[in-house]
Structure 1
């Protein structure tokens, strides 16, 4: 019953009431295992603030405290997804406090956008990212915007950004796929992992968009919306396959053969995957 009193106050974000209930629980059951978890959560409530951060380091410290100390305690206190829901307003407060801090690659986690994502405030995250100059050419904000677009509008809307992210940063692309846990993309990823003969490292994921086009040609219109990135070999291969799909529809056989040779030169494994469906 005393535990429930603490939980009830926490659910209403009542810091003073939670502290009183926690003290009553400690007075009666000083060896209760949950005291330390309750204590961390109550401390977080008491430490809430709306004062803007004056530097990136302060924002990073607050983020680390919430993720390393408070989040594990919340997971013990509130089971399942309810913990993430309870934490959302605290993440949103940190995002608001970080709103005036400019983006810097060396302290990207201090920016408001990833904090808004943790708060499941997708529209605010998108707005914050859109104010970063050249965000589409920088791995971190491109990754954030891809997630925001997916959460707001679904997979079809996110595909062009997913393609660009795979070209620009295969490692961030890999991490994002784990967070999104989209059934369609997961099936493609598993098939890619088992069939594509690459270097065997995370860099292979840069070839994922081109490989997808060999298996799901219907995605070509969405992939064409991807903007130019680094013009590396995986990106050029995807553009070549898009060209091949157009040539196939138009029946231009001479150009088709030349373009196939170009694909073979770029990546023999990708060429084999393409030819397997022809």
Structure 2
């Protein structure tokens, strides 16, 4: 029996028609093409995923959220239903790109919602970061009172700063986040995917004798001054935080580097004793370079 190429590829053609309409974000045409596919090939495996994506276009809106609950519900649908469907139909790269306008709309609709510690995922800054809107994310953080003392907005600002200005301008924010919320700092570094930073952190974990858990990263800003003294000009801009031992250690090392440059040896000895009292492993790393 001769193969009828057109007949055997019609399901592919109809499926591609739906995908094409989706890629143009044309809700009406998406529903029409999806209906044709469903009528002719009701058992097609792609129909459930395509129906989810078609529904996402139907629900697009520019109306501002009046409550955090509504924003949370919309975000939940995007994360739990729409995103898996998009990634399945187009793959990681193309699927993520298709989702960006939907994330932007959520961010715009959430722009008037105030920051709430029990609903951080619905804040516009978090949504803008998902949408790749780095400048908008930074602008959304600035109105939050004392944002530099709250882990979530500090992490948002750190990521926005990195995307906009690269690692150099982000060091002070990373230091503050490491002291304030080590676990969140570790997740941010992983998201950033900066190879030089990852290499430094890997060397830190290999050489630093600490608790052996995620809290060790709080000592990283101090340790990195030993490994890269030139970073002192950047880390000196880190604002005072909670005055924990890791923060005091970094301040001590900043003073030590300055005193060494000035040749003030007696004062250097005094500061070295203070550093030794804060953390033996950090002091050992420092002395190994002297």
Pick from 147, 159, 173: which aligns with 1:147?
Answer: 159
Matched, 1:66 2:71: no
Matched, 1:14 2:26: yes
Pick from 109, 118, 126: which aligns with 1:97?
Answer: 109
Pick from 105, 127, 132: which aligns with 1:120?
Answer: 132
CA deviations on 1:166-196 (whole Å, 9 max, x unpaired) are 1111011011111110011100111111111
Runs of 5+ in structure 1 lacking a partner?
A: none
Aligned to 2:148: 136
Q: Distance in 1 between matches of 2:230 and 2:97?
A: 37
Aligned to 2:4: none
Deviation at 1:133, TM superposition (A): 0.8
Deviation at 1:56, TM superposition (A): 0.8
SS at match of 1:186: helix
Deviation at 1:35, TM superposition (A): 1.3
Count of aligned pairs? 278
Q: Distance in 2 between matches of 1:197 and 1:268?
A: 9
Aligned to 1:199: 211
Aligned to 2:240: 228
Deviation at 1:214, TM superposition (A): 0.9
Deviation at 1:30, TM superposition (A): 1.8
Deviation at 1:203, TM superposition (A): 0.8
Aligned to 1:85: 97
Aligned to 1:25: 37
SS at match of 2:61: coil
Aligned to 1:216: 228
Matched, 1:157 2:169: yes
Matched, 1:263 2:253: no
Q: TM-score, normalised by structure 2?
A: 0.94
Q: CA RMSD in A?
A: 0.9
Which of structures 1 and 2 has the bigger CA Rg? 2
Q: Distance in 1 between matches of 2:265 and 2:278?
A: 20
Matched, 1:245 2:239: no
SS at match of 1:54: coil
Q: Distance in 1 between matches of 2:157 and 2:281?
A: 31
Q: Distance in 2 between matches of 1:270 and 1:165?
A: 19
Q: Distance in 1 between matches of 2:194 and 2:225?
A: 18
SS at match of 1:101: coil
Q: Distance in 2 between matches of 1:276 and 1:3?
A: 65
Q: Distance in 1 between matches of 2:126 and 2:264?
A: 47
CA deviations on 1:35-88 (whole Å, 9 max, x unpaired) are 111111111111111111111111111111101111111111122322222111
Name whichever of 233-242 and 74-83 sits farther off: 74-83
Deviation at 1:29, TM superposition (A): 2.0
CA deviations on 1:88-110 (whole Å, 9 max, x unpaired) are 11111111111111101111111
Deviation at 1:21, TM superposition (A): 1.2
Runs of 5+ in structure 2 lacking a partner?
A: 1-12
